Amino acid sequence: MENYDVIDLIKNKYLSNHKENTLRHVEDVADTAVWLAKLYNLDIEKVKLAALLHDISAIMTPQEMYKFATARGLKIDAAEEKYHFLLHQRISKIIAQEDFDISDSDILDAIECHTTLKKNASIYDKVIFIADKISWDQKGVPPYYDFLKSKVVESLDEACCFYIKYQFDNNLLLMPHQWIIEAYEDLRNA
């Protein structure tokens, strides 16, 4: 299947589930990811697909995500146990594989950790993580926007580390996921 066909199917999945706002968000993330892909000489099609699919699990409620994850025997982090919506990154990966036949590990891994990042993150993981934070889905401009956008031009690792530190320093994480803790330690020790 050609990428433009997959992109149409992805967009239709959001729209048929009345997730117009989510579609706008993932399209914004895709635009930012393409900008970063050009900056870091990455495959534009890969980052575009990862960005468009990163929140595809929004078609489910957090409770449905939890049932889906437990039915499949996924190991659930304590943060995901308490806040089921945190499962969305992992569920989105599964939907990308099963509903859209995505098999590229760069795409799937980037989808899987776009909220928390993870230890030993790839450059694709970091691009989708940061693109999601720059193109956030809330109203207004995030308070870290200008600094993060300028930092990412200098160093993707420093941008990721800055964003995670910002979250910790400002107590913005409801409950830190183990992956974000490990990612932060990994980035700080790099």
- Report yes or no: 14 and 74 within 8 Å, Cβ to Cβ: no
pLDDT in tens, 102-157: 999 999 999 999 999 999 999 999 999 999 999 988 888 889 999 999 999 999 99
Q: What is the pLDDT of residue 87?
A: 98
What's the CATH number where 130 sits? Answer: 1.10.3210.10
With a CB cutoff of 8 Å and minimum separation 6, the contacts of 73 are none
Is residue 2 very low, low, confident or very high in pLDDT (cuts 50, 70, 90)?
A: low
The predicted model scores a pTM of: 0.96
Angle at alpha carbon of residue 12, lines to 59 and 137, rounded to 5°:
55
Buried b (16+ CB within 10 A) or exposed e, 63-86: eebbebbeeeeeebbebbeebbbb
Phi, psi for 80 (deg, rounded to 5): -70, -35
Tens of pLDDT, residue by residue over 150-182, are 999 999 999 999 999 999 999 999 899 999 999
**How many structural domains comprise the chain?**
1
The span from the CA of 97 to the CA of 170, in Å, is: 35
Domain that holds residue 130: 3-188
**Pairwise CA distance, residues 86 & 65, whole Å:** 9
Q: What percent of the chain has pLDDT over 70?
A: 98
